[in-house]
Amino acid sequence: SSEVLKAIENVIEGVFKSLAQKKAPVLTLAKRSDWRNIEFKDSVGLQMKPRCTTRQIRSDCPSSAPRFALMLKILSMIYKMVQSNTYATKRDIYYSDTLLFGSQSVVDNIINDISCMLKIPRRSLHILSTTKGFVAGNLSYTDEDGTKVNCTCSATVFTVPSNVEGIKNLISHAKFMLIVEKDATFQRLLDDDFCNKLSPCIMITGRGIPDLNTRLFVRKLWDSFQIPVFTLMDADPHGVEIMCIYKYGSVSMSFEAHHLTVPSIKWLGLLPSDLQRLNICKDVLIPFTKQDQNKLASIQKRPYIACQPAWKNELEIMAASKLKAEIQALTSLSSDYLSRVYLPNKLQFGGWL
C-alpha cells in the first residue's frame, strides 16, 4: 500500500513542480500498443522493452487536457481506496460519474495506462475487474473472504475469483489443465463428465477472449501445481489469437507479462490438420472472410510463430484451405466424439503441439 501511495504522490509532486515553475504539467506514458516497444522472450512471452517510446498527455493541449484531468481524477480515487483499504470494480468507477468519463472503455484504458505508468499491477491499485471466466473439475481453494470453494464434488460451474491474489489453500489432484475457448464446449464437456472420466483435470474457460482474472487464475494454477496446460480452440484465426493471449500475452498488457502468461501451454486442438486427418465433411467447414485472412496474416508475422515450426505449419494449412471450423464440427462424426474419442486419443498419444 505504501508503495502505491508513494508512486501516486510522486506523480502529483511532478504536477506541482511544473505549476511552480509556470510550466504546463505533463504525464508521460509508454506506448502500450506499439509493437516496436515489445520484445519476445521465450520464457515470458511478449514483454515491454525497458526503454520504450513514450507519449505525453499535456494539460495545455485542447486534445489531451480532458484525458489529463481524467487521469488525475482516477489517481485520486485510487489513492483514497488504497488509504481506506477498499476496492472498486472498473464498472464502479465509470458509474461514479458517467457524464465525466463518457464510456467504460475510456475508464478501462486510463486504468491500464496508470498501472503501466506507475509500474504497479492493477490489482494492487485496488481496482477489480468483473470476471467472466468459469472453472470446474478437480480443484478446491479458500477465497479471500474465507469461503471454501470446492469444484471437485459436483458438475457445478464456479466463476473465476475476482481477486486471484487473495485465494489460498489450493488443492488439486488434477493430471492436467484444459483451457476451453467457448462456454458451449465447456458446458458440453461438463455434461459428459469429462473432468473425471479420463483422469482428474481442471477445466477453465474465458468464454472467448479471456479477461485479466482468468489469465491470472490460469497462471496461479500453473505456478501452484506445475501440471501440463492444454488449449481446446476453434480451428480459426480467432481461436489461435485467444490461445496466444494465454500463452504469450497481449501487446496492450505486455507490461504485466510476468504475471499473466503461461509459455508452457500446448495446442491440443482443434488443429487445422485434424480436419483433413479426420476427413471432416466440407459442409460443416466455414469459408474465410477477408477479416479472417487479415487476422491470420497478422498472426503469422508475430515473433513467437517463428520459434514454433509445428504451429507455423498448421497456420499454413489453414491459410491454404481458406476454411475454418468450430469445435462443434466434430459432432458431424458423432454427438459425443469430442469427449469419447477425440480428447482421450489426443491426451493418450501426445497429439498436441
CA distance 248 to 263: 6
CA distance 317 to 321: 6
Annotated catalytic residue within 79, 87, 94, 95: 95
Residue 231 and residue 266 in contact, taking contact as beta carbons nearer than 8 Å: yes
Residues facing residue 27 across a β-bridge: 57
- What strand order describes the sheet that includes 168-171? 148-150, 140-142, 168-171
Q: Is 95 a catalytic residue?
A: yes
Place of cell 509556470: 22
- The C-alpha angle with vertex 159 and arms to 158 and 160, in degrees rounded to 5, equals 115
From residue 67, give the alpha-carbon distance in Å to each of 100, 109, 171.
11, 11, 45
Residues that are catalytic: 95
